[in-house]
Chain A
């Protein structure tokens, strides 16, 4: 009897996987588990060298960028310093910070490069971000009502979200979030809506506020007080240095926002109703990660600059696999998708950005007014 009831509760298959049988999905789960085990067993000295080298490069860029900004009165120093600092911040946040905080490098047992101790050059404290991102977003990917990254609670990004008049401002809101991305994420990680709904305690919110306050103070002290002050004392370039650090942060914000929004919101990426995940198996979970993510195409340097989030599908399948391995397994994941008739969404950055913004524009209107795709 119990078994029969359980069978009755088998959740609706995602649209993109409606053609698969239960056995096929189980087999798919086993194949992906085996792929993961194969890669994780082969991690070694070469992977360690990669992340050590990446961190070394990032730190040299950061130091060089800041030193150039000390002389930011000279336009060339300003431009080079700002550019290098922006690249350093992008590498620090994406290829290093995001991935270290995911635990991708925990296997090295190096306390300097570990998810439990890493703090990043981003306003949102690593601890709160670990909860909303590693835990909530990666578990409930694209499940409307569960994955709070769906619309970040201020945007409408899926038809599954009920339309409200405030979504008329979908486009201006997104245009505002992009340059202020690190601040938007910091506020988002406080989970104010969860507090309002009574699912997060006031005490927990107070602790998060305190942690954010300390972090904000230190971030401002470095970028908007320390560096400009040194520049002012050394070469009277304080104002130019301040503009430089602010610009570097803005460039990083716009880039990170673009890459991240392309990961889940282009056309053909599926979102899922809450009912779809009851009784989900490992295979079902893999299917949802693949159908709910989209890759970006580009060269090696491009992949590094996106923190390998250009391999969003592989990252969502195996969030704790070192990022340098995503490119290696991508052809095999794509082959598996083809064999099972699952959509493997991938496209160049400009196209995915265009589609993301177009979707946001359409969804700003009630469904009956919107032009269909």
Chain B
């Protein structure tokens, strides 16, 4: 469909200031020249608080790789809200996300979204993808961190069913464990797949602070290409352990939560968004992204936890506090991550 672009651009002479996409949207609302969109094709419940939402993007969508994530926007009470989710399907299939109801956006996706609804998207992103050449793998996942891994396993099952892969999945209880039946079935049918389910409700937290547990569960772990996705504690422990054992180069990680350090009270200021001509009073603990959005400023955003740098915005005046470290920094012209930066005094942002 991409090759059609010059043609639709030319025809858009007749529809200016609209693009032909906006006219096509009269028939198929997935079309937009400004924002990729998809239509929900299926919503399947996965246990009491989770659901898999499958969707079909408009033609021209950049296909994802197994393990990548995508920013998903939904309209809640008329307002667009965004979160990032890993895609759980193999490349070439309609993308799907598996969401657990823990917040506003995930709640809307689990409980409100129905087939036929429109979702807003950004192109798929992320480096958490399979190695180029086949080699033994170890997947360590916590909670919904299994989502990108299931996409990888589904891809391998179709393309390289002989791959040697150990999946070490931790969840509180078996009922909480996403995709557990599918993982068991995969282990059953594919000789190279071994599935280890670690229930923290019974055995305590999966301990990656020492070599003992990995040595017991997967003795050759140092030689495997290892993927870790889960809560911050799990990922941080794995990073330290693999580095200290000299296996850091084999480790690929994906985080989905980071704790923030709030600044002392009263350290905020007035944030001015110069291009939108908006001024807001902000405290020293609110991310500038949230403050801007609340004031109706269209700020770029991605992971909303300081990782993906989608939200980079130019700081014109003032200094900001990094909410992940507490550090105060910023020179005029710096690109700051608005999702984890709070105002330390008055600031001007080029947005």
**Which A residues contact B (CB, under 8 angstroms)?**
43-49, 56, 59-60, 63, 66, 103, 106-112, 114-117, 119-121, 135, 218-219, 221-222, 226-227, 230
Contacts and interface: CB of A to CB of B under 8 A. Distances in A.
Interface string B1-37: 0000000000001111110001100100000101100
Contacts of A117: 34, 298
Contact of B15 (A103, A111, A222): A222
A56 to B, nearest CB: 7
Contacts of A119: 17
28 contacts: A43-B78, A45-B77, A47-B78, A59-B22, A103-B296, A106-B276, A106-B296, A107-B78, A107-B79, A108-B75, A109-B81, A109-B296, A109-B298, A110-B80, A112-B34, A112-B35, A114-B298, A116-B276, A116-B298, A117-B34, A120-B17, A218-B16, A218-B17, A221-B13, A222-B15, A226-B13, A226-B14, A227-B14
B293 interface: yes
B16 A221 contact: yes
Contacts of A49: 78
Interface string B268-296: 00000001110000000000000001001
Given A56-B26, A60-B26, A63-B23, A109 B80 contact: yes
Interface of B: 13-18, 22-23, 26, 32, 34-35, 75, 77-81, 275-277, 293, 296-298
Nearest to B11: A226
Chain A interface helix/strand/loop/mixed: helix
Contact of A109 (B16, B22, B23, B293): B293
B16 A63 contact: no
Dominant secondary structure of chain B at its interface with chain A: loop
A219 B75 contact: no
A94 B78 CA distance: 22
Contacts of A111: 34-35, 298
Contacts of A109: 79-81, 293, 296, 298
Nearest to B35: A111
Nearest to B15: A222
Contacts of A120: 17
Nearest to A104: B296
B85 to A, nearest CB: 19
Contacts of B79: 48, 107-109
Given A48-B79, A218-B13, 8 more contacts: A66-B14, A107-B78, A107-B79, A109-B80, A112-B32, A120-B17, A222-B15, A226-B13
Contacts of B78: 43-49, 107-108
